Amino acid sequence: MKIDIITIFPDFFDPFLNTSIIKRGIEDGFLNIKTHQLRDYSSLKHNRIDDTPYGGGAGMLMMFPPFYEAIKTLKSEDAHIIMTSPQGNVFDQKKAIELSKKKHLIILCGHYEGIDARVEDLIDEEISIGNYVLTGGEMPAMIISDAVSRLIPGVIHEESSETDSLQQGWLKYPQYTKPESYEGYRVPEILLSGHHQNIESWRKEQSVKRTLSKRPDLIKMIILTEEEKKILSKVSKE
């Protein structure tokens, strides 16, 4: 997976690219994530990339030419171009899975009052990470990159990603580790039984129960299996 991020703050990404799973994925050759300084694609004095908007208005707007030149330089035949924007569809695990099947992502990070609207003719989609205002698109770009990267084969253990919360639509079941008991707080006995089939059934039920309790809004988006319908009916009555 190749990800190119166009930003005026490439240093913002240094800790992200040099930490934990993302760092290992890059070192092991499963990920190729690079940041690109937008100012390098400006032909103006002092590499200027912003100006006042036509028609007036508060603040500065990021100019079209630097983005055009950056995209022209970085775009490959397989590139899928994303602009982080509050106008886009809200990012979720389904979208992360969809993007993980792409070979090349280019992510544009806006700033100030946004980007000249002509850039919309060059992109494939706009993505928002939530209904709130951020200073720039750098954090959304990191969130998208992180969520997508962990789905790339080899980046993390496949079983780990398959059982993540929201991967199948449900929240993940509760998990515990040693010691069995501490100050009266005990691990559920079922997990100490060694009976894998019973443990698996318990975990499925707990996932449904957690989702119903904490994020009931998610259930309407899940295509339920017959087993899940029975579990949901059971936990709803408890």
Question: Would you give per-residue pLDDT tens digits along the chain (238 residues)?
Answer: 999 999 999 999 999 999 999 999 999 999 999 999 999 999 999 999 999 988 887 788 999 999 999 999 999 999 999 999 988 999 999 999 999 999 999 999 998 778 999 999 999 999 999 998 898 999 999 999 999 999 999 998 765 555 555 557 899 899 999 999 999 999 999 999 999 999 999 999 999 999 999 999 889 888 899 999 999 999 998 8
Same-domain status, 62 and 174: no
Domain boundary among 128, 156, 184: 156
The residue type of 169 is G
- Any idea what DSSP says for residue 83? E
Q: How far apart are CA 86 and CA 223, in angstroms?
A: 28
Domain boundary among 121, 156, 191: 156
Same-domain status, 150 and 200: no
Same-domain status, 37 and 150: yes
Same-domain status, 133 and 193: no
pLDDT computed for residue 238 by the predictor? 84
Same-domain status, 151 and 200: no
Q: Which residues are catalytic?
A: 86, 113, 150, 164
Q: Is 147 exposed, middle or buried (0-12, 13-18, 19+ CB in 10 A)?
A: buried
Same-domain status, 172 and 120: no
The token pair at 106 is: 């280019």
Same-domain status, 138 and 181: no
Domain boundary among 140, 156, 172: 156
The token pair at 32 is: 């190729």
Cβ proximity of 107 and 79 under 8 Å: no
Same-domain status, 27 and 89: yes
Domain around 199 = 163-237
Classify 73 as helix, strand or coil: helix
Q: How far apart are CA 83 and CA 140, in angstroms?
A: 10
Same-domain status, 64 and 130: yes
Same-domain status, 140 and 224: no
Q: Which residues lie across from 37 on neighbouring strands?
A: 7
Same-domain status, 146 and 184: no
Q: How far apart are CA 195 and CA 177, in angstroms?
A: 17
Q: How far apart are CA 207 and CA 194, in angstroms?
A: 20
Cβ proximity of 163 and 204 under 8 Å: no
The residue type of 168 is Q
Same-domain status, 8 and 99: yes
Domains in the chain: how many in total? Answer: 2
Classify 32 as helix, strand or coil: strand
Q: Is 225 exposed, middle or buried (0-12, 13-18, 19+ CB in 10 A)?
A: exposed
- Any idea what DSSP says for residue 31? -
Instruction: Count CA within 13 A, CB hemisphere, residue 192.
Output: 10
